[in-house]
Structure 1
């Protein structure tokens, strides 16, 4: 089969698409990608061997009506371009992962009678997916609670959020060797997304002496490139302290880093949660409070209700509850074991296979 994947805007849309691509290629399908020329998808897909075709697409600002007209015109032009492209590559199915670029690509497929499958990573459906779900052959979800938003779809199913094999198959031993952390140490991993999170950084820095006072605790703290210098100055780690507290601006090898951890403090973005879930690491989640429709809080609550993690609102980080919740995770091995077992019951580890099955079935229908 020839399968076109499309998504844009954030890495949260692209990473699960690339995870699906790995599974589809393993099944001997030809995979193509449609995205915007300047978006993060152009860079991320460009690092793979997947052919990439660019289409212009943009959102609009409700306060500026002219932006709506421009956005609609771009979508119309890109829809026409996508139809011509489809006449050449002849896809059997198109899979959209969210972002404005999915609209012209999926509309072109609809007009040509090509089935469209959508994947939603968050607990609240994005605008593009909500709009396109009305005519989609199938909608695959990470969280079942947003099924009611997929109105009109031919099939709605929970597949989980696909994770790339480099993360899902990472080993604890390999991660510990890479980081130089003894096997019998308890490892706390702290990160706030690709750019970092100031509130999380500040909260962890405030617990420096308490954390360093714990025997056999190793902290790996990914502060983010924008935050690194400020956090390094605030921590002022001595050479001896650096043996127990690794401060990084970023980490390219997140699979191994996650696999090495015993406890994680992080945001609750779709990709971060999927990767934490795939490796079944106990976590304290701090949702980004300004995410669209507050979807990170909804993501976190769903994961916590499944017994896989604990969570805390961002505006509570400066209080005593953050230290209490973190210390409980670090101290209670039974609680961590329960969270790990609950995470292993989630569909994430098989999400790429589950979604690939839905794609194949939709193409053959």
Structure 2
């Protein structure tokens, strides 16, 4: 018997791609031929090229919840995307399509349904995005990161499994992390991550408070592309990076507290690593509000505290950090109670049964 074939899709932000890559890395290449369908310009292209699998581009429109002339044009883009996706799927003839959402996934799912290819969807956020709302009727099976999300999907094909965590994130070396950062063990380490797009307000507030922060913490500041401040390169106990790829697991292994956006994949990784969090979710003007809801659930469960970006000042940052630092043991105890499901193994098993 020849190899089975799987097509992954999903894009628009790193959150729609990272879990796909976690699965791709664990799939047995002797059993599977792996392909990816994404957009021409999305972040998924850049990220998928790193894992070295065939990448096909399709036309994709943006799904908007508001009235806009672009919507008319995008209807045609999505229709063209369906034709593009159908052509690619007919060529590959996959056994299964696995989607992480994002607007590029809709044409792929529609085409897969027309070709009677089984479709698996994973929803990371507390409430489904528009792409997964549309796609759910075509899906064979749906999986969720949050138990609370199940109510938004058909009960007979939905399973709560948690978030597929990248195995390498859990295997960091504290020793290598300290060596890479050249930090000491006297002060706790605070890591600041603004998501794949960086975060202007977070970056400015952290830098505005740098004098007070470096008295109490050593800082790892992942500030996003073109956001390095050359004037701050020589500050003792402050290291800034545009991105961190391979060393991230080692850095997280020495991190005591993390300041993060409310993207589901990231916060579930920090939960798995038992790192107390301050979550600064994207505002309702910057997103559909999914990060705000994710943050609310994590705060209710005692894993984090939420600091709204509108309320983000130097003073609020320092106060919230102090609160997390003083309560970090209680937060870690709450995290220990999380009945962690191994979502990655579960998905690999489900995919293997196709």
Return the TM-score normalized by structure 2.
0.88
1:127 aligns with 2:130: yes
- Please tell me whether the aligned partners of residues 162 and 348 of structure 1 are also in contact (alpha carbons under 8 angstroms): no
More relative contact order in 1 or in 2 (CA 8 Å, sep 6+)?
Answer: 1
1:276 aligns with 2:270: yes
* 2:334 pairs with one of 342, 359, 365: 342
How far residue 341 of structure 1 moved from its aligned partner, in angstroms, is 4.1
* 2:82 pairs with one of 79, 82, 86: 79
Task: Tell me which residue corresponds to 1:203.
Answer: 205
**CA offsets per residue over residues 146-167 of structure 1, 9 Å max, x none?**
22222x4642112222232332
* 1:292 pairs with one of 287, 291, 307: 287
Matches within 5 A, 1:107-126: 107-126=110-129
SS of the residue aligned with 2:27?
A: helix
1:171 aligns with 2:173: yes
From the superposition, tell whether residues 97 and 325 of structure 1 become closer, same or farther in structure 2 (CA, over 3 Å): same
SS of the residue aligned with 2:218?
A: strand
C-alpha distance in 2, partners of 1:184/1:276? Answer: 23
- Please tell me whether the aligned partners of residues 8 and 36 of structure 1 are also in contact (alpha carbons under 8 angstroms): yes
How far residue 56 of structure 1 moved from its aligned partner, in angstroms, is 1.2
**CA offsets per residue over residues 312-363 of structure 1, 9 Å max, x none?**
1112222744322211333x3xx323323433554667222122233344x2
* 2:318 pairs with one of 316, 323, 326: 323
- Please tell me whether the aligned partners of residues 145 and 161 of structure 2 are also in contact (alpha carbons under 8 angstroms): yes
Matches within 5 A, 1:1-365: 1-25=4-28, 28-59=31-62, 62-65=66-69, 67-150=70-153, 152=154, 154-214=156-216, 217-229=217-229, 233=231, 239=234, 242-252=235-245, 253-289=247-283, 290-318=285-313, 320-330=315-325, 332=326, 335-346=327-338, 350-361=342-353, 363=354
Between the two proteins, the alignment pairs up a number of residues equal to: 348
SS of the residue aligned with 2:343?
A: helix
Structure 1 portions without partners, runs of 5+? none
Structure 2 portions without partners, runs of 5+? none
From the superposition, tell whether residues 196 and 49 of structure 1 become closer, same or farther in structure 2 (CA, over 3 Å): closer
Return the TM-score normalized by structure 1.
0.85
C-alpha distance in 1, partners of 2:29/2:188? Answer: 36
C-alpha distance in 2, partners of 1:63/1:71? Answer: 12
- Please tell me whether the aligned partners of residues 196 and 224 of structure 1 are also in contact (alpha carbons under 8 angstroms): yes
